[in-house]
Structure 1
Amino acid sequence: MEKGKVFLVGAGPGHPDLLTIKAYRLIGEADVIVYDRLIQEACLAHARNDCEKIYAGKAPSCHQSRQFEINEILAKKALEGKMVVRLKGGDCLLFSRGGEEAEYLAERGIPFEFVPGVTSALAAPAAVGIPVTHRDIATSFCVISGHQKEDATMKPLDYDFSALAKIDTLVVLMGVKNLKRISDALISHGKPKETPVALVQQAFWPDEKALFSTLERVATDAEQAGIAPPAVLIIGKVVGEGVRLKQQARDVAIGEGERLGKRGQRRVGRVPGSSMLYPLHLSLEGVLCVVVGAGKVAERRVKRLLQAGARIRLVSTDAVTGLEELAKEGKIQWISRAFEPEDLEGATLAFACTDDRETNLRVAFEARKRGILVNVADDPVACDFTLPACVIRGPLVISVSTSARSPGLSAAIRRRLERQFGEEWGELCSVLMELRPEIVRLNVPPDEITRRIEDLLDTDCLSLLKRGLQEEAKQLVREKLGI
């Protein structure tokens, strides 16, 4: 059996909006996800329904045996030929034991790949408005772990605290248990006891909590405030900037029951490669579609929608000549101004085709708020649906899609198909459509009809249609189908 592969993926501080695009994609493709305790449920909601999810959470002071078990799970699932995502809080290689897991896999010849994530060492300070570096205040930055293997013995932490005391901004991960030891060691090695510090508990989680204190008082204040792991300690003058850099209306909420990728609640659409796009041909006769933007891309969208019988509302301050003419002829409605959310009222589909990405994303956001499916030109990540490359021969439509992975390949395949399928194929489709009532009355199983049509394609029928001999072709169709 061919070996699978393990992706060691950093999931960031926990909020699904802070997953990287690649992490989001891999979650959607994985056969197995082995995840930590610091992963919010919403981050897993994009996984396939048949994905095996294995909880591998390790509480503080977990024994080494638990890590060995995780290593074994990763190797076992990969050796079964499965795609495995090892989903870790923060970054996959910063105090995460990702290196140990990779070594274990490498020793067994199992392929693996690292996918970085947003570390809490940066996310937690950002959550409370602290810049870890600031040109006028801090030009050096260091991250350390607040516990070591021998913590249970209460031996001094094995750090050069005289060097750490000179660092402008010191960030300590997993240090709640040892706050007193860390602060005392820094003060004894020259760090001023009035140095401002912040302790951020569960940054970007619903119960996020922040404590501002001083190096001398932080252990006492944290105990009184009930600060518990996971929490990040930030030490340095930059912490004083937290008040001045207070953020307005931070968007950290996860709506009740929200799941990543749910159309009505997510910020953007699917990610290329996260799953196959469902092939679907829609009836748009009389359906209102809003197209924002009026350049060449919008013109192509509008003309194809008109072919499908849709009603078009075009929104743009100006338009290319072709769209202006369609508006003058009354074939489309043109609102000649910048996009406003009310332009979407009554629409079933929306198309964002401007050359300004912010406008396109605003259209997408407002459309989803109203339950409207949206396509964003040249931005498959922001799309609910993409537009396939098409060969159109009358009623015959041949669609080619790479599920947004390679539009160029779709276009190349379409060009080949255009040479292979001429107008005679559309005429054959029309003939079969005309004879469909008689075909149905034959009361022949569908598979048999398909076989007869395959036999028909081996005759001169298409050649007759190409030469304009429609009656002769129709007679041949009747004969081959047994009508």
Structure 2
Amino acid sequence: MANFGHVYLIGAGPGDPGLLTIRGKEILERADVVVYDRLVSPAILGMCNSKAKMVDVGKMPTHHKVKQSEINKLLVQFAQEYPQGIIARLKGGDPFVFGRGGEEALELVAAGVEFDVVPGITSAISVPAYAGIPVSHRGIATSFHIITGHEKAESNGELSLDFENLAKCQGTLIFLMGIANMDFIAKRLVECGKDPKTPLAFIEKGTTPYQRTVMATLETAGETIVRENVTAPAITIMGGVVELGKTLAWKKNLPLSGKRLVVTRAAKQASGITARLTALGAEVIETPMIETRAVEGSFNWADLANFDVLAFTSTNGVESFFTQLLASGNDIRVLAGKKIASVGKITEKKLLEYGIRCDYVPEDHTGEGLGKLLASLIPQSTEGATSHLTPRILLLQGNLADDTLLKLLPQANRWVVYETLPVAELPEWKREAVESADAIVFASTSAVENFVQVSRLSSLVSRLSFCIGRMTESAAQKHGFETVTSDETTMDSLVKKIVEFYTKES
């Protein structure tokens, strides 16, 4: 074989990112190029190597962004451009189930490019399962048949289906990609002898938070599609097993079902809230607005002996401080006898992970609240001058921290233990997902400001935002966002507020 890159034909599954295979995820994390289809969820695209070249070849039902023949050539081209590289061809469902993966593989073979196939979970089986419909069931269906609903014969432009045999089939019929033709398909099956009372179900956007199941019969298929506005992507399943869906439907309508939420927290902090919102039914687009990194070697650890109180104002500050403390050869014993202050409960919880309990946490979880609390600890002489018993306070903050605390605590010192770097831009696939979101979740003022810089505010479908803290709320309002703010500066409170909002709305 020539010195080409290696191509992986990967099935992304039916939509739920949890149904992507482990092998598929591992390859995407190492890929140099990802060539992806329209139906691949943003959450799966978010798993790709952040440095990978992302190529959208997505196809709409009536418009092909890139023709299949061109996609075939692209794969060969990227294999040639990236010797020893990893080229991931990411396709909805399974690449060899009406995914035209075979055509792509033949092109690669002809060009001498090595490839692997990473199977995906086909929508033909998984989507009915998510609707509580087994494709086979003892006593009802002993076979199932997967049929393309849109492939037409070149000779006359009509659907190239054997309706006579399909009508006689006793098994379950599953049609993929055929909603636009389903009225015709149903009528032809009836004409060829299939019982017009045969139950069927249309399942839209299966396995995603937007899943919807619409029941009908063969004779009412066409009118049901129009009345219920059934649209692609959707599959159609026919047969007696459909009736089981009325009893076995297990996928609950969760509080956040059908909502797309953008979480703007830093990548290492987003997973917690993402998991919780996803469990409540939301589609979450992780869109970190900032990256943080420790500021190393900017202070002398021996100077810690000069302070009585260490004040932490963020989880980033906690992580950066202790990472550098341990890397310097020290450990938490250097904090013996010192009082520890936290701006709020989230930072307090992070400190506890390092075995440190807080002595001071303000009721008002803001920089101002922390400053006032620490200021109250400073004894004053009768003349109003600062007492010699004044605690020596060290503020551990990031490079973008404002002067709120220093104004309230003019005697305090500050160490910048981490720096915040804004994300320069959004990849196009993520920009499109963000613009169609129902709401943006902001956890800091810096996230708001950078989101405004890198997004096209005029293109947002919604200006609704969920915020932690009054300062974040104020920053969002300044840029024209409608704001809903958590009662407390905790993730628990924020998630609760999001659920309350959408519950009242419904």
- Cα offsets for 1:327-356 (capped at 9, x unmatched): xxxxxxxxxxxxxxxxxx957698xxxxxx
Partner Cα distance (2:213, 2:154) in 1: 25
Aligned twin of 1:90: 93
Aligned residues of 2:9 and 2:115 also touching (Cα < 8 A): yes
Partner SS, residue 29 of structure 2: helix
Distance 1:134 1:204, change over 3 A: same
Aligned residues of 1:162 and 1:190 also touching (Cα < 8 A): no
Using the TM superposition, give the Cα deviation of residue 127 of structure 1 relative to its aligned residue in structure 2, in angstroms.
2.1
Distance 1:349 1:138, change over 3 A: farther
Letter in 2 for 1:11: A
Corresponding residue pairs, total:
290
2:141 to 111, 127, 138: 138
Partner SS, residue 74 of structure 2: helix
Does residue 1:4 correspond to 2:5, yes or no?
yes
Aligned twin of 2:38: 37
Aligned twin of 1:216: 219
Partner SS, residue 68 of structure 1: helix
Distance 1:107 1:265, change over 3 A: farther
Aligned twin of 1:119: 122
Aligned twin of 1:78: 79
Using the TM superposition, give the Cα deviation of residue 248 of structure 1 relative to its aligned residue in structure 2, in angstroms.
5.2
Does residue 1:176 correspond to 2:184, yes or no?
no
1:263 to 254, 258, 271: 271
Using the TM superposition, give the Cα deviation of residue 309 of structure 1 relative to its aligned residue in structure 2, in angstroms.
6.9
Aligned residues of 1:165 and 1:186 also touching (Cα < 8 A): no
Aligned twin of 2:201: 198
Partner SS, residue 233 of structure 1: strand
Using the TM superposition, give the Cα deviation of residue 179 of structure 1 relative to its aligned residue in structure 2, in angstroms.
0.8
Distance 1:64 1:266, change over 3 A: closer
- Cα offsets for 1:61-120 (capped at 9, x unmatched): 456971111112111111122311100001111001100000001000001111011111
The answer for unaligned runs of 5 or more in structure 1 is 269-277, 284-306, 312-344, 351-483
Identity %: 36
The answer for unaligned runs of 5 or more in structure 2 is 277-292, 294-300, 302-328, 334-347, 354-506
Using the TM superposition, give the Cα deviation of residue 266 of structure 1 relative to its aligned residue in structure 2, in angstroms.
5.7
Using the TM superposition, give the Cα deviation of residue 254 of structure 1 relative to its aligned residue in structure 2, in angstroms.
7.5
Using the TM superposition, give the Cα deviation of residue 152 of structure 1 relative to its aligned residue in structure 2, in angstroms.
10
Which residues of 2 match residues 23-62 of structure 1 at below 5 A? 23-62=24-63
In the superposition, the TM-score normalised over structure 2's length comes to: 0.51
1:230 to 230, 233, 238: 233
Which residues of 2 match residues 334-413 of structure 1 at below 5 A? 346=349
RMSD: 3.7
Aligned twin of 1:69: 70
Instruction: Give the number of the structure whose alpha-carbon radius of gyration is greater.
Output: 1
Partner Cα distance (1:48, 1:156) in 2: 40
- Cα offsets for 1:371-426 (capped at 9, x unmatched): xxxxxxxxxxxxxxxxxxxxxxxxxxxxxxxxxxxxxxxxxxxxxxxxxxxxxxxx
Aligned residues of 1:142 and 1:167 also touching (Cα < 8 A): no
Aligned residues of 2:59 and 2:66 also touching (Cα < 8 A): no
Partner Cα distance (1:10, 1:116) in 2: 5
Distance 1:62 1:248, change over 3 A: closer
Distance 1:109 1:61, change over 3 A: same
Letter in 2 for 1:53: M
Distance 1:234 1:65, change over 3 A: same
Using the TM superposition, give the Cα deviation of residue 205 of structure 1 relative to its aligned residue in structure 2, in angstroms.
2.9
In the superposition, the TM-score normalised over structure 1's length comes to: 0.53
